Each structure stands twice: as C-alpha cells, then as structure tokens.
A and B are shown apart, each in its own frame.
Chain A
C-alpha cells in the first residue's frame, strides 16, 4: 500500500474533503437549530453561512459540489427545504453558484475576500433571476424577474449582512488553526509569514 507523502495531492484532497464534510454538516445543523428557536430561514439564510465559509477554504469544485449537495441532503433528511416545489433544487443551484464563484475568485484567482464575497452574492442573485424568469413562464405571468430578485434580497438582508460580517470571522478562525490554507493561497510567502498573517495563536 502506497503511503502518500505529506503535502501530496491525495493528502490535500483528503484534508479538503474532511473539512468540507464538517462545514457541510454545520450547513445541515444550523438551520435546524435556528428553526428550533423560531428564527426564519429565508431571512437569516443559515444554510448559506457555513457554505460561504467553506468556499473560502476549499477548492472551487469541492465548494460547488458542497453547495449542490447540502440542500438536497437536508431535504432528504429533514424534509426541508421541500423537494417539491423544487425549492431544494433552486437552493442547490444558488449555493453551488455562490460557493463556486467565491472559491474560484479567492482560492484560484487569489482576489481579496472583499471582492470574492460580493461576487458570490451576485452569482446567487443571478441564479434567482433565472429561476424567476422560468417561474414567470410557467405561471404565464408578466412580472419582471428583477422585482422578484429585489424582493428576495430585501427579505434576506439580515442573512446577507450576517454573511458579510461572520464569514470573514469564520474564515479567520479556520486559517488561524490551519496556516497552510493561507500558504496555499500565497505560495511565495514564507511559512512563518503566512502563519503570522493568519494570526496563528495556537495554545501551547
């Protein structure tokens, strides 16, 4: 049996999958916790937050896959969001677009977080607009998709603000524990610099 050397692709992929699995699990549990407290899912978007954090720390393909899977898995496990009408499917596409775009911009193209996160939100709203166009066609109504997207953005502004504030904090918490993430993003930087940049403060 071949043992992968540390730093190899297999090790990186294994770590990425484990981290994606745990953040995906948070994406399943957080909506359940908030629903139990009686806080609205459409307003706070609890499933989005862990997946946005995941998009900053895993590769684009894994981030998009995570976005695609978590709503469908939640629908299969808990019945929410519903499979039909296809809200779970719509959320899947939304989250896959958002997570994929964020990860692509942040981890592959190495753009700053303040640019990647809003770009992800725009990708999410673009998917919503496409869904609105399709729905308007199904219902034979002549409403502007922009109005629907605007209504959704207005309804979920607390969740959007939460993502803008809490996602960078979450990413910083993870990068403090895993300085290699910052090093992978900035390969030219010395390990010590990357660890300091990520604010490493491990106990002991």
Chain B
C-alpha cells in the first residue's frame, strides 16, 4: 500500500496508539484551543503545554529524532517571519514570537496524532461527524486513488526503463508528457468502471454514516483530560 509508505504513522504498541482516534481528536482540539489562548509572555503556559505534549510523545514512544526531523520544515517556514518580525516594533516582534511558538506547538501536536493513528482510522472517526461524512468519503476515494495511480506510475516507469534505458533527456521528457496524458485518460476510463460498479452495488448518491461504535470510557476520559488540561493552562495563563 502506497499510503503506508507516505503517511507519518510510527508503528508502536502502547496506550496512546491503542486509544480511540475520536478521543485523540478531542485531545488535539483541546490542545489547539489551549495553545491559541496561551500568551507568549510570560512563557510558563507555553512551557506547560510543551510538557504535556512531551509526556504524550514519551507515552507514544515516538522517537524524538523523528519528531525533530519532521518539525524542521515547520521551523524553516516560521523562521522567516520570525526573523522578519525582529525588524518591526514591539507588537510585531511579539506577533512573530507568538506565530513561531504556537505554530511549532500545534504542528507538533498534529505530528503526534499522525504518528499514533493510521489515516484510515482518523477518516473513519471524522466520518462520524454529521457534516463531515461527505468530505471523509471523498478523502477515502482519494486515498484509494493514490494506490491505483502509484501502481500505474510504477508500471510506466518500468516500461520506460525496459524500452529505453539510455534515452536522452529530451526523449524522456517527451515520454513523461505522453505518459501523463495517457495516465489521465486511463484514470478517466477507470473512474467510469468504478462508478458503474458502485451504482450496480446500490450506491444511491449518498453515503450512509459509519456504523455506531461506542467510545470506551477509558479512552474518553484520557482524551477529555488531556484536552481540558491543555485548555485550562491556556485560559488560566490568559486570565492571570
């Protein structure tokens, strides 16, 4: 499966990995709200949130070097506006610091979520929300499409390597354009067959909601506790 090679999931077996994805989404939502409320100065609220997230990372046994490597790209993205904000007044500097600190925190929380949950599990959790079911269904179509297209590209690459292993760059570029156009045509033809198969199986244009599944109390408590703790830190720091 191509998705297995693309995604950020880190294979482990621990409490956080086994936690229901809905509980993890609730925890991340609380963390996100807490980070938004938390002021940058004084920094104790942000440090509290870092400690909470650090504890979750340790429980999840996600190697720190993986987290650090994945955060580098975000660091580069926020580094530029942070450096630029140093040239402005006090308010601009504060906004630069706030953007950098909160972006890193929120990105890290999403990375922990992605490292402990498979994309299919998260989509299934999202599909239970009434307004998001259609989006989740479309996202599932996209994920299946990734596997189909990746297989097509692999076959095309293999064919090109077998037929013209020493072709010039001009020939390769021409081949790439021809393959891309052909790929679009084949994708279109495939979608016709797939659509007809769906209609024959009884698809009526609507996606039924995912079957109800109770959220275990233990998972609910952990998710809610993490989210509420994050929110309390952020709100308390804002008021104090």
Residues in chain A within 8 A of chain B (CB atoms): 1-4, 6, 8-11, 13-29, 32, 53, 57, 62, 65-66, 68-70, 73, 75-80, 82-85, 87, 138-141, 169-170, 173-174, 176-178
Contact = CB atoms under 8 A, between A and B. Distances in A.
A17 B145 CA distance: 11
A4 B204 contact: yes
Interface residues of B, number: 68
A141 B114 contact: no
Contacts of A20: 138, 141
A20 to B, nearest CB: 7
A10 to B, nearest CB: 5
Given A14-B198, A53-B184, A69 B138 contact: yes
Interface stretch (B2-10, B12-20, B48-56, B227-235): B2-10
Nearest to A80: B73
Contacts of A3: 199-200, 202
Interface in B67-102: 70, 73-74, 77-78, 81, 85, 88-89, 91-92, 95-96, 99, 102
B63 to A, nearest CB: 15
Interface in B184-226: 184-192, 194-196, 198-205
A18 B181 contact: no
Contacts of B85: 139
Interface string B2-44: 0100111000000000000000000000000000000000000
Contacts of A32: 6
A28 B146 contact: yes
A65 B138 contact: yes
B142 A73 contact: yes
Contacts, number: 192
Interface in B131-181: 134-135, 137-146, 148-150, 153, 181
A9 B105 CA distance: 45
B195 to A, nearest CB: 3
Contacts of A53: 184
Most B CB contacts (10 A, CB to CB) among A25, A53, A80 go to: A25
A71 to B, nearest CB: 12
Nearest to B136: A69
A154 to B, nearest CB: 17
A16 B182 CA distance: 19
A178 B191 CA distance: 10
Interface of B: 3, 6-8, 70, 73-74, 77-78, 81, 85, 88-89, 91-92, 95-96, 99, 102-107, 110-111, 114, 119, 122, 134-135, 137-146, 148-150, 153, 181-192, 194-196, 198-205
Given A11-B196, A14-B196, A85-B103, A19 B187 contact: yes
A82 to B, nearest CB: 5
B185 A176 contact: yes
A65 B132 CA distance: 11
A105 B90 CA distance: 46
A174 B107 contact: no
A56 to B, nearest CB: 12
Given A14-B199, A25-B144, A77-B7, 17 more contacts: A10-B205, A14-B196, A15-B195, A18-B192, A19-B191, A24-B141, A26-B183, A62-B138, A69-B142, A78-B8, A79-B73, A84-B74, A140-B92, A170-B181, A173-B182, A174-B187, A178-B188
